[in-house]
Copies of this chain bind each other. A is one copy, B any other.
Amino acid sequence: MAKRKVWRSRVGGSDTATAPRRGTPFIGIDVGGTKILGVVADGITANFQQRIQRPTPKDPATFADGILAVAEELLGEFPSVAGIGVGVPGLVDHAGVLHYGPNVQGVLGLDIAGQLMTRFSVPAVAENDGYLTALTEHRLGAARGHDHAIVVTQGTGIGGGLIVGGQVLRGANGFAGEPGHMLINRFGHRCACGRDGCWEAVASGAGLANLARDVVEEGKGSSILEAAGGDIDSIRGEHVAEAYADGDPDAKEVMDHFSWWIAQGIGSLIALLDPSIVVLGGGLSAVADGFIEGVSEQLTPAIVGGDHRPVVPVVAAEFGPEAGAVGASLRARDFVING
């Protein structure tokens, strides 16, 4: 695969690029399965001057156009932007090409950074969205100062990244950091990726809904079902959270099971990577009081030799829905300086 550091030849930069002046604006764009979030920030802090949100095009053929339109809108407002970072949900190689993403089916081999540079003559770089979320938490948030950390964000799926040796792990191809697709339950629920038993299928928003449906199918969970309008297929994580907040015991059972599963996956990751902190984010960690504490309590028995090693703190992410877009702006500035 091609190497990075291509933009200088394309846009006329030099090998002796110096750091942009402080305050120079950068665009950060986070592309999700349903929406595109764009911010303008300084590439150093998480303070953004602008924030816009647009729907992700449903048609793979216009997927790139949706991203280009967000960039164009922000560039119109901030013509002095020095670089653009884009996070996309899937396997992104070292050259920034998106190869595949379960939530953006049909988008294959997309060089969105190349398209942005060609169209706007601004340096641009594309990354996996989870990589950028982890970058934000590592540089500015809850994983700050930790050379070894795990950042897990729970939305519809599982995102985040692995911090190893002081850097967010890329791996050989740039595809590292997909803990949602560890096999954890041989005969488990179907995952969005098409396989059965992934961690994501029991530990994401979709996973919480799966666990709730199990309980409803046992004839329990009437409050959850009611919150979902009486349709089992419409149950979402939020419905569980709603019933749980109302003190429903069946919803509590589901939430306990859910946090157990989260602890099991984190335990596996700790056995592998030995981090000094685990950061949980992405919305679901806020759905229920005491949720992170519940995960923590179940963690020691989920780690090999758990009684013989330091407790690994599980903490809430410091950044919310903007973590990916902020990370994209940080990465944009790095890219302009270092490629």
A-to-B contact residues, CB < 8 Å: 90-91, 99-102, 108, 146-148, 162, 164-165, 167, 169-188, 193, 195, 198, 264-265, 267-269, 271-276, 301-305, 307-310
Contacts and interface: CB of A to CB of B under 8 A. Distances in A.
A175 B91 contact: no
Nearest to A183: B264
A130 to B, nearest CB: 12
A305 B176 contact: no
Nearest to A185: B186
Nearest to A99: B308
Contact of A309 (B91, B268, B276, B308): B91
Does more than half of chain A's interface fall in helix, strand or loop, or is it mixed? Answer: loop
Nearest to A1: B310
Contacts of A162: 272
Given A91-B308, A308-B91, A272 B178 contact: yes
A188 B264 CA distance: 14
Nearest to A200: B304
A17 to B, nearest CB: 24
A9 to B, nearest CB: 25
Contacts of A147: 172
Contacts of A179: 271-272
A310 B172 CA distance: 10
